[in-house]
Structure 1
Amino acid sequence: MSPPAPPLPSDGSGGNGESDDAGSVEVVLTLPGDLRGAFKDPFGPVFTDAGALLDALEEPGPLVAVGDVVTYHLVEAGRRPDVAVLDGYTERTPVAEEIEAGTNTDAYDRHLGIENPAATLTTGILDALADALAGTGAGGSNGADEGIGSGDDAQRAETTVIDVDGEEDLVTVPAIAAAPEGASVVYGQPGEGMVRVPVEKETRKRARELLERMGGDHERAYELLGIEADREGPGP
């Protein structure tokens, strides 16, 4: 996850579920300036080798990758993420052609195109993330409890790439909050490597705390993600 982008201009959405100036994007949450420092500390262990990261996976749950470079390295190491969130940039610089080609987006079952301005989480990205997580097929009672699918839907297993027009930097936080127990979320830590976050009670709690500190309509965000607003996170 590259460094959080500057706040939206003052004439943009206030982050209360209102549309932006163009009227086409519903912004649900925004990143306040005083919260940027909270993203400097990694959520989990940092790896410089994708193979070692994959070897460290303790659970067979879904793998969610946020970022083009992270996705590229995981694919190169032999594991295509179940959910990949891409925006074509790394630290606000367009990714190299090798990285773009290496993410191999044609191999995914589903492609979702979403607009998400910098320093925001929109209706589109939160809804797409919940849909993609449901598609991983992490079912049983766990999937039903967490609002990520039940019955026949919980048994299907599809890979999804979410192609973001804008920035995907903040998607790591709702991904940790909404992913099923046993999943792993991987994102890039600038200048350090790849961070692997095991989705468990403590990491969900930290993600929920960050979501609560963002400005905007938190209940709407939880509704879109399929998690309950009065809980610390999806139950096991």
Structure 2
Amino acid sequence: MVCEIVLPESLRPLFRKPFGILYEGVGGDAVRSSVKDLGNPTKLISVGDVTTFHLLESNIIPDILIVDDRTKRAPASSQVVYGTKHQGFVEVTVDNPAGVITEDLISVIGDALVSDRNVRIFVNGEEDLAALPAMMMAPIGSVIMYGQPDKGVMLVRMTESKKAEIKDLFDKILEKQDHKEQFNNVRRILHGH
């Protein structure tokens, strides 16, 4: 049985608040304005096709990029799809339906974080919630970037307090799941055990 964590409707408002700094603008403008604050992160993780495309276009190479060839739930342009297929990445494909986070997605992100290679994770389904496990598992000092449709790009710098905030949110999500015992392995992976 595939372990799927469903984002409960009651917790969706928590995802509308910013987890980091929002750089407003369209496409490349938002990414370019965020670059000055990027620093030298432990790991740079990019979630989303448009954000990833503009990072790569700006010669900023994420350690991990997570894409699904879609933007705003519609197919991404061929320019964006092609532009996220960077030669220097090991490609990994994972199934992850819309509105959920699968144990497989969590596992693939965890493996990518300990890899000494740049990893392109292609999600067959939807990557919208992938930033959450990425934030949970990324080492302190890492930066996770993801798009905010029609607003800009979010830059989240992982600190101890940010990790605690994300952990609390994830624990609330796990508490709302049916058959909680099936998530024990997921909880261990997310907490680094």
Q: TM range, normalised to the smaller chain?
A: 0.7 to 0.9
For 2:106 and 2:61, how far apart are their aligned partners in 1?
A: 22
Q: Find out whether 1:223 has 2:188 as its counterpart.
A: yes
Structure number with bigger Rg = 1
Partner of 1:32: 8
1:113-142 CA distance string (max 9 Å, x none): 10011111112101100000111xxxxxxx
* Match 2:20 to one of 21, 44, 53: 44
Partner of 2:139: 180
Q: Is the 8 A contact 2:43 2:143 kept in 1?
A: yes
For 1:177 and 1:36, how far apart are their aligned partners in 2?
A: 18
Please state whether the residue corresponding to 2:59 is helix, strand or coil. Answer: coil
TM-score normalised to structure 1 length: 0.73
For 2:41 and 2:123, how far apart are their aligned partners in 1?
A: 27
1:79-135 CA distance string (max 9 Å, x none): 121100111111101101111111133331x11110011111112101100000111
For 1:102 and 1:169, how far apart are their aligned partners in 2?
A: 19
Please state whether the residue corresponding to 1:64 is helix, strand or coil. Answer: strand
Q: Find out whether 1:72 has 2:37 as its counterpart.
A: no
Identity across the alignment (%): 30
Please state whether the residue corresponding to 2:87 is helix, strand or coil. Answer: helix
TM-score normalised to structure 2 length: 0.88
Partner of 2:123: 164
Partner of 2:103: 123
Please state whether the residue corresponding to 1:46 is helix, strand or coil. Answer: strand
Partner of 1:196: 155
Please state whether the residue corresponding to 2:129 is helix, strand or coil. Answer: helix
- Larger strand share, 1 or 2: 2
Please state whether the residue corresponding to 1:29 is helix, strand or coil. Answer: strand
Please state whether the residue corresponding to 2:130 is helix, strand or coil. Answer: helix
For 1:77 and 1:57, how far apart are their aligned partners in 2?
A: 13
Q: Is the 8 A contact 1:173 1:210 kept in 2?
A: no
1:161-205 CA distance string (max 9 Å, x none): 111011111111111111011110001112210000001112111
User: How much does 1:207 deviate?
Assistant: 1.2
Q: Is the 8 A contact 2:107 2:189 kept in 1?
A: yes
Work out the number of aligned pairs and report it: 182
Identify which range, 93-102 or 49-58, moves more after superposition: 49-58
Q: Unpaired segments of 5 or more residues in structure 1?
A: 1-18, 20-25, 136-156, 229-236
Partner of 2:94: 114
Q: Find out whether 1:86 has 2:67 as its counterpart.
A: yes
